[in-house]
Amino acid sequence: MRSLILLLTLFLVAACESPAARAKNAGQANELLAQVETIALPGVEGRFDHFAADLKSNRLFVAALGNGSVEVIDIATHKVTGRIAELPTPQGVAIAPDLNRLAVTNDKDGSCRLFDASTLKPVASIDLKDDADNVRYDAAARLFWVGYGSGGLAAIDPDKNQQVADIKLDGHPESFQLERHGTRIFVNVPSAKQIAVIDRQARKLLTTWPVAGASANFPMALDENHHRLFIGCRKPARLLVLDTESGKPVASADIVEDTDDLFYDGTNGRIYVSGGGGAISIIAQDAPDTYKVLGNVPTAPGARTCYFIPDTGRLYLAVPHRGTQQSEIRIFQAAGHFHR
């Protein structure tokens, strides 16, 4: 009950912001995240899903779900350099740079397909039966983790080209994050209105935390240093901040509608949230329990997928073709980072 009261109080505080304050914050947001480049994606139709980056080869991979392809972009020259075509609604992409493997997960046939990351030629396909979605690479264990189906998290060994673990969940998993200095995985399970906490070493479910005060919890980011988990919700459009030691909510903030991606910028203590409502919300982390909305950077309707690279401070936003708006990747530079 106290958690719910805290969230309601935070909602009321945010609602009291004046129009003048909102305008000031919007200008500040544009200064903190400025668009610097656009990459055209001619002929790419439909919506996008998720990104992955391989900094070793300076390439960005984006799942063009509606187009049935993965587009490959050189982030040094800002040119499209390759494409994996004829995929059955690709949703997730992840790179294992040490193994030179690219994983692409697909909704329609539930496959996790592995490719040679250099040649883009297929290596193997692992059948997860249904709705293979978000995918992450655990470099320490050399495993891909994939959320799939009506409630499962699978571990795939890209050396053996096979599934080696399966953890059952209470609903379809959306975004999830792996601890770098621990063994836990935090998983958004929106249909169950919860976050599942998994021990990936023991390969078992540890506990679940309820999502209170909002629902449709899709994107997620982790601030491991401060033990904070950031959850993007669509109903209503809110960012929830949880303590990863207790699972309790500590703060919340307004964000753009229809969010699908969010990232934590540890260098500047900022959170970037992209949404189909046509903006990127920027939120400052003043302290582990104190957050302030700095404003929204206008983008385009339906542009809800992004990817942030902390090493360069660059954020890549996928914009779908809608009417006169052409399909493209917009590149933003975060203030406070030196782009190399």
How many CA atoms within 13 Å lie on the side-chain side of 44?
A: 28
pLDDT of amino acid 174: 98
- The strand ranges marked E within 173-236 are 176-178, 184-189, 194-199, 204-210, 215-223, 228-235
Dump pLDDT digits (tens) for 28-49. 688 999 999 999 999 999 999 9
pLDDT of amino acid 30: 82
Residue 252 has pLDDT above 90, yes or no: yes
CA dihedral 18, 20, 24, 27 (to 10 degrees): 110
Compute the mean pLDDT over every residue in the chain, rounded to the nearest whole number: 92
> Does residue 33 contact residue 272 with C-beta atoms inside 8 Å?
yes
Dump pLDDT digits (tens) for 51-61. 999 999 999 99
Dump pLDDT digits (tens) for 200-237. 999 999 999 999 999 999 999 999 999 999 999 999 99
Residue 10 has pLDDT above 50, yes or no: no
Residue 336 has pLDDT above 90, yes or no: no
Dump pLDDT digits (tens) for 284-331. 999 999 999 999 999 999 999 999 999 999 999 999 999 999 999 999
Residue 338 has pLDDT above 90, yes or no: no
Mean pLDDT of the 243-256 span: 98
Residue 17 has pLDDT above 90, yes or no: no
> Does residue 216 contact residue 190 with C-beta atoms inside 8 Å?
yes
pLDDT of amino acid 16: 47
Residue 3 has pLDDT above 70, yes or no: no
> Which of 105, 94, 177 is CA-nearest to residue 137?
94
Residue 14 has pLDDT above 80, yes or no: no
CA distance 24 to 57: 40
pLDDT > 90: what percent of the chain?
Answer: 89
The secondary structure of 230-299 as a DSSP string is EEEEEETEEEEEEETTT--EEEEEE--SSEEEEEEETTTTEEEEEETTTEEEEEEEEETTEEEEEEEEE-
Cα 60 to chain centroid, rounded: 14
Dump pLDDT digits (tens) for 98-157. 999 999 999 999 999 999 999 999 999 999 999 999 999 999 999 999 999 999 999 999
CA distance 76 to 91: 25
Residue indicated by tokens 């699908």: 260
The long-range contacts involving 118-121, CB below 8 angstroms and separated by at least 24 positions, are: 118/57, 120/72, 120/82, 120/84
Element (H, E) at 62: strand 59-64
User: How do strand 90-96 and strand 101-106 relate by DSSP bridges?
Assistant: antiparallel
